[in-house]
A and B are shown apart, each in its own frame.
Chain A
Amino acid sequence: MTTHTPHDIKTYRQRLRHALDNAFLRQTLDTFAAAYRESRAKAFEGIDLESLIDDIARRKASALPRLEELFAQFKARAEAAGAVVHSAKTAQEANELIAAIARENGVRKIIKSKSMTAEETFLNAHLERHGFHVTETDLGEWIIQLRREGPSHMVLPAIHLSRHQVAELFEKVTGEKQNPDDIEQMVKVARRTLRRAYLEADMGISGANFAVAESGTLGLVTNEGNGRLVTTLPRVHVALVGYDKLVPDLETALTILKALPRNATGQIISTYVTWITGAVPCDASLSGRKILHIIFLDNGRLQLAKDPVFSQALQCVRCGACANVCPIYRLVGGHNYGHVYIGAIGLILTAFYHGTENARALVMNCLNCQSCKAVCPAGIDLPYLIKNAVRHVLDQEGRRPIKNVVLAKVLKDRKLFHFLLRRASLVQKPLAGKAPLIRHLPLFFDKAHGFRSLPVIQAVPLRDRWERLQPQVSDPAMRVTLFGGCLTDFVYPEQAEAALPILADHGVAVDYPMAQTCCGLPALMAAEKETARDVALQNVRAVDVDQTDWILTLCASCGSHMKENYPKLLGDDPVWGQRVRAFAEKVIDFSSFLKDVLKVSSDAFMPSHEKTAYHAPCHLCRGLKVVEAPRDLLKTAGLDYVPSRDEDVCCGFGGSYSLEFPEISAELLKRKLDAVESAGARMLVTDCPGCVLQLRGGADKQARSFRVCHIAEAVARAYRGKTDEALKFL
């Protein structure tokens, strides 16, 4: 089996374009995404998911610094029970060890149950090179083995194939005609054929989901029952287990088990969970006991476990969910969204397990949409780790792209940054800066990517209008700091302007500190962590946190970045930490502010009953976890909110992502607009200026039948002022 992961963006983009043409794959993954969402929700009914995730994350995280100690404990226990326990430093070492065990025991035929760890080491290829006959027994793995492919999903390895392709394959293997529509019959073919393989095999190879240190027990989770046969029928059993599978005790394993099948396949439990401690009776072996070897694979894990940021990746329990929900995976499939490990976790692990050359292009392919993070049962902040992995790859390769250098230099100096923006606006061109340096700044887009039309940079940004705009509120009920962010300030000041009368009417005094600047998310996205930190500090210093009740932003991306990443970047800073945390706590989005703080009443609006669709920005619904407020606000404002398909799926903007991977961005945009159109909406509302840029640009370019606006504009348009009735409640 070989994988051909492109080593540069250009080749990768060709591959992605090719994948986008695969209609079967798209249809399959779409259906899967919808079905997965539903079955997962059902499986977790009645379970406090958040506490379960916390529990798993805590248990896994606390095991990581003790992996070597847990290994020693496991080894002592398992060996006392008749197993032989090994540690392999590298993939090559593990493969050689397994081949040697096979040779020593006179093995010719080997059967295998599914193991991502064995995929990681390319074990089959190694064993075949050494003359062993290996048969995969998991149905999906068997299918792709026969096709000489790698898995395209960690749980459903053959999800990219149609029944017709499988029928064709089985015809070749059995020499008998197959009916592609009789899947049951095809499964029987596999049952029959593989039964023979079990009976003839001398050695079984498995992975493990858990290695329980306190008792030296392996835990295997399967549905087909092949894991049981692989570990029972042949006289030799070899288990290849990543160090990260070590858990201290049975309770930890059972806790993970509570989430793993539910999150992987929407089952409350997998059909078979097998717990093996030591060498069990085996009549096929001369001694009457199984010859059991357990190999723990390091391959970088022990180093990773010590890393303050990346160790979190080892909390992964391999449920595959981060692929299921990823909008990019949905478009291009696992063969284009991972090297061996697939989905968000694959983007991260590839750099560490399979070399930076294989990660180089792959790791860039993330929208930072937060979908993976929202479903990870191990509580891994996957998008954050992906951005850190980008930096890791750059550092390893000693590269620093020019755009990073420019970004860092300019963002560190707010006056320079704003000077450049103002100068650019003089040209009155869309945001398609020609000057090579400017092109790398937030807001500047390469005009080559013409799938959407682009707005212009305003001649008079919000900050220059402020003196005129600032509402005079006597005896204010509260003080709010408005955080603009680049897009609101320099491209869409009208969105903020629209919001001001409502705020003033409700007795809110608004400040707009001039020293505020870009929130810094573009720097983090470009893996410029130092710059992100520097910029964050500029903003924190610009705001008098003690004198403000809220830090209000119309940009969901700025909002979630400030709320979540600022404390991550600076929360431990001895001087600023406390203030950064206080700052983050006061950050609030527009919809929540109107609904939950001002509690605006429907009396204040003139109902238009315009059919309005809503796009939930990634950074609002997942980043800030604000879900109901905007929809409620639309209703309060007298608009007819019409639900549309995949409302919370990314629009494809992702900041500079849309420049790096325009084909994917354009496809996501098109789907979004299609969904809105088929919902029959006259207006599409969202609450992030980045999404507005993408969606409005797309709707304009494709001459769609609805307009796109920020929720502040939509609400302001319907606002008729507070009635006396409403005033009484203040």
Chain B
Amino acid sequence: MRTLRTLLIGTLLRAKHLSRSPFEVALALVIPLVQATLAVYLFRAGDEPHRLLEAAVGAGLMGVWASVLTGSGGAIQHQRFEGTLEIIMLTPRHPVLVVLPLTAATAVTGCYALVATLLWGRIVYGIPIDLAHPLAFGAATLACIAGLGMFGLLLASTFVLMRNANALANPLDYPIWLLSGMLVPISVLPAWTAPIAAVLPTTWGARALREATVGGPVWPSIGICLALGTVCLVLGAVLLKSFERRARAAATLALA
């Protein structure tokens, strides 16, 4: 209970901090419009107007993922620059409790992109927002935040352990969009991608959102998304502990 509270409050305050960055705000205003446009033209060209809403949802999720990837990949490095890494590592709790709010917050602010994409789609292109399961859509959105936040934690801890791993962050944008079926249905991708897609929390988050939009079981996908997220969390926790130990030995918690 205490742990959940810490995670929740940590995430919300962290999201508040992020949402006040001029850079983030500018991105958040522009990207969803681009996403919505992308969705519309991709699918108009493909002559499938009935799938416009589905496409807009997928595009919105791409926005969430972009936010998690850029935000989480550099989350720890960023704290180091702000001079707060030492202070948060000095808390008498497991480092996961400190780092997960950082990455979950990037998913929360990313969700704004999801909502904004749908709104832009509605306003500019007249895509009606009639969801098959509105309630389940809300649940799927929360599952996406949690799942992507936990995935983000794994990225954060991996990137901080590997030198210059941030260079990896940007090229990861597109493969995950594609692999998780945010952009096009997984069924059109080559068969070898299926096993990779199956272990990504993003795939199941995207699927849950799609099922809530056009109709489908939703809840199993939510469950799998959260389960895979938990696996990321456990792996991330192990990596973070090892990072902490190494950083204390190598004096890398602060800038030299």
Q: Note whether A and B form a binding pair.
A: no
A residues whose Cβ falls under 8 Å from a Cβ of B: none
B residues whose Cβ falls under 8 Å from a Cβ of A: none
